[in-house]
Structure 1
Amino acid sequence: MSTYTAHFRVWRGDADGGGLRDYRVEVHDGEVVLDIIHRLQATQAGDLAVRWNCKAGKCGSCSAEVNGRPRLMCMTRMSVFGRDETITVTPMRTFPVVRDLVTDVSFNYDKAREVPSFVPPEGVAPGEYRMLQEDVERSQEFRKCIECFLCQDTCHVVRDHEENKKAFAGPRFLMRVAELDMHPLDAAEEQGLDRKRSAQDEHGLGYCNITKCCTEVCPEHIKITDNALIPLKERAVDRKYDPLVWLGDKIRRRT
């Protein structure tokens, strides 16, 4: 097993401020950035705060920014960096720092609560749901989300504009709206909830300018922009501006 010493720069501090500190840390073959952070805790910085859980890329806990790119530390192999390269690890920039690499991601849970849940069809019990696999596949991809919030972190609508957070749900939760809108059994519209309109008016769909940065950082390789946000935008525009759709809605309401 080959071993070398890497140069790490890790952000240390809290909500009141902080800065980057330099460390020289031992690296072994096959390790990931989270391994090095743990070794750093064990040997040099016992008070370093970092959030993690599964170390298998499934819990989404160890989100951070490595050399400026939002990543899961447990899925970022040291082999992708040169041995003489300085590796900078900082907390997610979009969310308030709690301490060191730990950020307050409660913004995301607040946004999750604002999205109305699945509305079951009237008169159909849960065990009686019947759906074509073709319909299920449209939104099944979105259920792979591990809620690492890297897409939320990299989205420049909130990353660079704090004032947008109140009006914009972010790609993760617009994807949730799209998933429910595509659900073949969701009866929200029959209950008076227009998910397409709420996506536009309440969750800030219009703020998204489809740069695909959210898709690029997704560790589950979900095509957030192409398969969720763009189709949702198309549906919202059709509902709002298509005269035939508008007329059809009027006729349906009369009947």
Structure 2
Amino acid sequence: MTYTAKFKVWRGDDEGGALQDFAVEVNEGEVVLDIVHRLQATEAPDLAVRWNCKAGKCGSCSAEINGKPRLMCMTRMNTFTEDETIAITPLRTFPVIRDLVTDVSYNYEKARMVPSFAPPADLEPGDYRMQQVDVERSQEFRKCIECFLCNNVCHAVRDHEENKTTFSGPRFLMRIAELDMHPLDTADRREVAVEDHGLGYCNITKCCTEVCPEHIHITDNALIPLKERVADRKYDPIFSVASLFRKNEKREKPGATPGGSTPR
């Protein structure tokens, strides 16, 4: 079955732009990315769009379709009625480069800030041993295709540009949680999660989970457990007392006595 669908596609660059109307042929079984390719071939050869695998595994073709962040290659045309006008706009949270292509370098900058996996120093390759339950616990997070839809829809980033300097968004807090759950990782990432990646900005609205094309339970299985471990550390009375001693040790100058005088 073939019909002509009405589209509104955002055209412009970092200086501004607007929605432009198009009428494009739609064939049975097609997805939105198919229509965008046909639009490029027939009416708008200069339309900029980012894509790669067309199989929902690279995350490149992220866009907002009728206001909802989605992958264009995984959004089937039969989910819309034939008389419906379909609006395609770039991800709102990131700066526009041109048309549907946005600058997502913010995400890569945050990725570089995440401390890498730190196994025990005396552990040789091939000696790693994990229980299956530990493997399964973090396996879910490894399905992430880095489409950045979760960071795009997170209101702490989307509605507050000033937060980008101190908040890494759900994608990279999930990465920190994954490493923190790893039984062979020796790094304590709780303070990093709060101080460097802004865990406190997350108020667990689950909007990131709702848009994840891999159906990862980002909030329930990563962010909430990470918040719980941070709270355990912060409000643990034994740790609090130990922290006071450590702070006092840092205040003492080398060679100084507790009373402040320098021994002769």
TM-score (norm 2): 0.90
TM-aligned CA deviation for residue 250 of structure 1: 9.2
Match of 2:39 in 1: 40
- On the 8 A contact 1:238/1:245 being kept in 2, the answer is no
Match of 2:99 in 1: 100
Aligned equivalents of 1:156, 1:113: Cα separation in 2: 22
Match of 1:169 in 2: 168
TM-aligned CA deviation for residue 242 of structure 1: 2.0
Query: Which has the larger Rg?
Result: 2
Aligned equivalents of 2:79, 2:243: Cα separation in 1: 54
TM-aligned CA deviation for residue 126 of structure 1: 2.1
Match of 2:201 in 1: 207
Question: For structure 1, which runs of at least 5 residues remain unmatched after alignment?
Answer: 189-193
Selected match of 1:233 from 201, 206, 227: 227
TM-aligned CA deviation for residue 35 of structure 1: 0.3
Question: For structure 2, which runs of at least 5 residues remain unmatched after alignment?
Answer: 246-264
Within-5 A mapping of 1:92-241: 92-188=91-187, 194-241=188-235
Three-state SS of the structure 2 residue aligned to 1:129 is coil
Aligned equivalents of 2:239, 2:155: Cα separation in 1: 33
Match of 2:261 in 1: none
TM-aligned CA deviation for residue 11 of structure 1: 0.1
TM-aligned CA deviation for residue 247 of structure 1: 5.9
Match of 2:23 in 1: 24
Letter paired with 1:133 = Q
Aligned equivalents of 2:219, 2:148: Cα separation in 1: 15
Aligned equivalents of 1:222, 1:202: Cα separation in 2: 24
Aligned equivalents of 1:43, 1:100: Cα separation in 2: 17
Match of 2:81 in 1: 82
Three-state SS of the structure 1 residue aligned to 2:52 is coil
Aligned equivalents of 2:242, 2:152: Cα separation in 1: 40
**Which region of structure 1 is more displaced relative to structure 2, 131-140 or 49-58?**
131-140
Letter paired with 1:145 = C
Letter paired with 1:207 = Y
Q: Deviations over 1:183-220 (max 9, x none)?
A: 010011xxxxx301110111100000000000000000
Q: 1:23 to 1:30 in 2, by over 3 A?
A: same
Aligned residue pair count: 245
Aligned equivalents of 2:191, 2:114: Cα separation in 1: 12
Q: Percent identity?
A: 75
Aligned equivalents of 1:87, 1:64: Cα separation in 2: 12
Match of 2:248 in 1: none
